[in-house]
Structure 1
């Protein structure tokens, strides 16, 4: 069973899935802004936080199955699901497998596109350094995920993110990198899912091709997207704005496709 933590007692359950080299503690800044109408279920994905490694390769589908087992253990039949980065990839796999279990799907600084060939090659090249020099890998990668125009302001958050990354089991990280290489295009999930779909993206996100992704979104009334003036980590860079969008969008309605 995956490690998880519940906060709040609202009537709507919002499941939060963190990204690569993260854990459930990344949501601390965001959750204090989230509506009292939510019960938050924060889950450590396999090989991260206090959840064990379950395979040599953690595919997004395998992790989605583990998330479903966690929801079943809590007798949760239908939830709002939000995933950051790799958590978004897992959320897409979950939506493909268990669409009837979703009230909404939020891609939080994530994408439905697979890795291109160049990124796959970079991930494969990283296998050895993750195994042999993981601290170097983590320290080099984390700062690049924040808005480069606000590095001085975000220095404290970068330090927190780096510490969380360094606490990750390197073999758990390796299993997830191998799983991310195997990802396929999930645009068809957005084309077919009946639940509400929310996209929150960053203008300065170096990990996601934000404009390409937003411009290629299916033209459906159940999909809304927002581009914020930040990097890859809205939960640390713009927590109050992100929470306002989540609260209002998932519980009410907002105008479509805003740039904030």
Structure 2
């Protein structure tokens, strides 16, 4: 089973799925205020953190099944699910397969769009360098995921993100990239899911086509979106405002203290 940690004593359970080359430690800046209102279930995805690799190609749907096993082990049947980046892709896979489990779905700097041809080609070209020169791959990519206008302010957070990435099993990263290449369009999930849908995106996100994403969200009353002045990593760049949005939208309950 995937490694997980539980924090907080809230009546509502919020399941947190990190992104590619991350682990459950990424939520540390948001956790104190989220845990005031939620019981947090932080899961290490396969080949990341303390979770083992489960397949040579870890598709989003396959990993979603592993997430469900964790929920079932904790007898959880109604949850709020939030996924950052790759965690959002997995969340969409979960919502497609198990919609009855969800009170809400939050795409956190993520998208329902599949990779276009160019992005797929980039991922496929990265296979060898991930396998043979993973440190170079991480060091070249991680800084570009932050707001380019605030890299001096965010220097410490970028270093944390880099060290988190370098701690990842390179073969786990490789299996995840192969899984992301196989992603399909999941817009129909947002069009049909009855649960609350929250989209939090970054104006300067180099990994997600934010403007296109927001423009093409289904016009439904259960969907709400926010675009923040940050890059791809709101949990490190804007933890206070991200926490406030999540608490307000999912529980209509502002945290006692904001770290803006």
Give the alignment's TM-score, normalised by structure 1.
0.97
Are 1:77 and 2:74 matched, yes or no? no
Which residue of 1 is the match for residue 13 of structure 2?
A: 13
Q: Distance in 2 between matches of 1:27 and 1:153?
A: 19
Which residue of 2 is the match for residue 32 of structure 1?
A: 32
Which residue of 1 is the match for residue 184 of structure 2?
A: 184
Which residue of 1 is the match for residue 112 of structure 2?
A: 112
Shift of 1:252: 2.2
Relative to 1, partners in 2 of residues 1:35 and 1:41: Cα closer, same or farther, differing over 3 Å?
closer
Which residue of 2 is the match for residue 252 of structure 1?
A: 252
Q: Secondary structure at the match of 1:15?
A: strand
Which residue of 2 is the match for residue 216 of structure 1?
A: 216
Which residue of 2 is the match for residue 258 of structure 1?
A: none
Which residue of 1 is the match for residue 240 of structure 2?
A: 240
Which residue of 2 is the match for residue 257 of structure 1?
A: none
Contact residue 86 and residue 110 of structure 2 kept, 8 A: yes
The superposition leaves residues 199-227 of structure 1 with CA deviations (integer Å, 9 ceiling, x where unpaired) of 00000000000010000000000000000
Are 1:98 and 2:88 matched, yes or no? no
Q: Distance in 1 between matches of 2:248 and 2:24?
A: 23
Q: Distance in 2 between matches of 1:23 and 1:2?
A: 12
The superposition leaves residues 200-257 of structure 1 with CA deviations (integer Å, 9 ceiling, x where unpaired) of 0000000000010000000000000000000000000000000000001001299xxx
Which residue of 2 is the match for residue 140 of structure 1?
A: 140
Shift of 1:35: 5.1
Query: Size of the alignment, in residue pairs?
Result: 255
Q: Distance in 1 between matches of 2:139 and 2:35?
A: 34
Which residue of 2 is the match for residue 57 of structure 1?
A: 57
CA-based RMSD of the aligned residues comes to 1.2
Q: Secondary structure at the match of 2:158?
A: helix
Contact residue 113 and residue 187 of structure 1 kept, 8 A: yes
Shift of 1:39: 0.2
- Structure 2 residues not aligned, in runs of 5+: 255-260
Shift of 1:83: 0.1
Shift of 1:33: 2.3
Give the alignment's TM-score, normalised by structure 2.
0.97
Which residue of 2 is the match for residue 193 of structure 1?
A: 193
Contact residue 13 and residue 41 of structure 1 kept, 8 A: yes
Contact residue 35 and residue 247 of structure 1 kept, 8 A: no
Which residue of 1 is the match for residue 257 of structure 2?
A: none
Contact residue 203 and residue 231 of structure 2 kept, 8 A: yes
Q: Distance in 2 between matches of 1:237 and 1:30?
A: 11
